[in-house]
Amino acid sequence: MSATTRWIGLAVFIAVCLGAGSLGAIATTPEIDGWYRTLVKPAWNPPDSVFGPVWTTLFILMAIAAWLVWKPEGFKAAAMPLTLFAVQLVLNVAWSWIFFGMHQPGWAFVEIVILWLAIVATTMAFFRSSQLAGWLMVPYLAWVSFAAVLNFAIWRLNVT
């Protein structure tokens, strides 16, 4: 694989991950000043302005991690870890649509637990391919762990 191909690969992984973030934002953004504002949230809920920069950073770290797994030998050699990566990316987007788009914090909590398990599986597979790739997934796992607890708290505070 040429150096040019490798760098194009990085650009593609970044575009895919930021694209996934954009798909989630389609459901999320219109609800921030609407439905989401009406929810009771715990005192430790971060300000809305924190989420965009954090997610952008996490999507870029995820893209670099996936690229590091792909780079040595391509998709065929990295089929399992990259399939796990794709699954967790789809689940990531789905959470936004369930929580914000469908206004279903309870079902979103169920989904985020499945997402968390998929991230753990992906991170473990990435560690086997590249230590750096595995470590680049750890902040994402930590943030989704926090997000799951926050999702649960919001759900419980708003059960009618």
For 121-144, what is each residue's pLDDT tens digit? 999 999 999 999 999 999 999 999
Domain that holds residue 88: 3-157
Token duo for residue 49: 């302005």
Question: Looking at residue 25, what is its pLDDT?
Answer: 96
10 Å CB burial of residue 152 (0-12, 13-18, 19+) is middle
Contact in structure between 42 and 154 (CB atoms under 8 Å): yes
**Strand ranges in 9-123 using DSSP code E only, listed in sequence order:** none
- CATH number for the domain including 32? 1.20.1260.100
Residue 4 has pLDDT above 90, yes or no: no
How many domains does the chain contain in total?
Answer: 1
For residues 67-87, give the mean pLDDT.
93
Q: CA-CA distance, 124 to 65, in Å (whole number)?
A: 12
| Torsion sign over Cα 147, 51, 16, 57 | negative
Q: What is the pTM of this model?
A: 0.95
Q: What is the pLDDT of residues 12-33, one digit of tens each?
A: 999 999 999 999 999 999 999 9
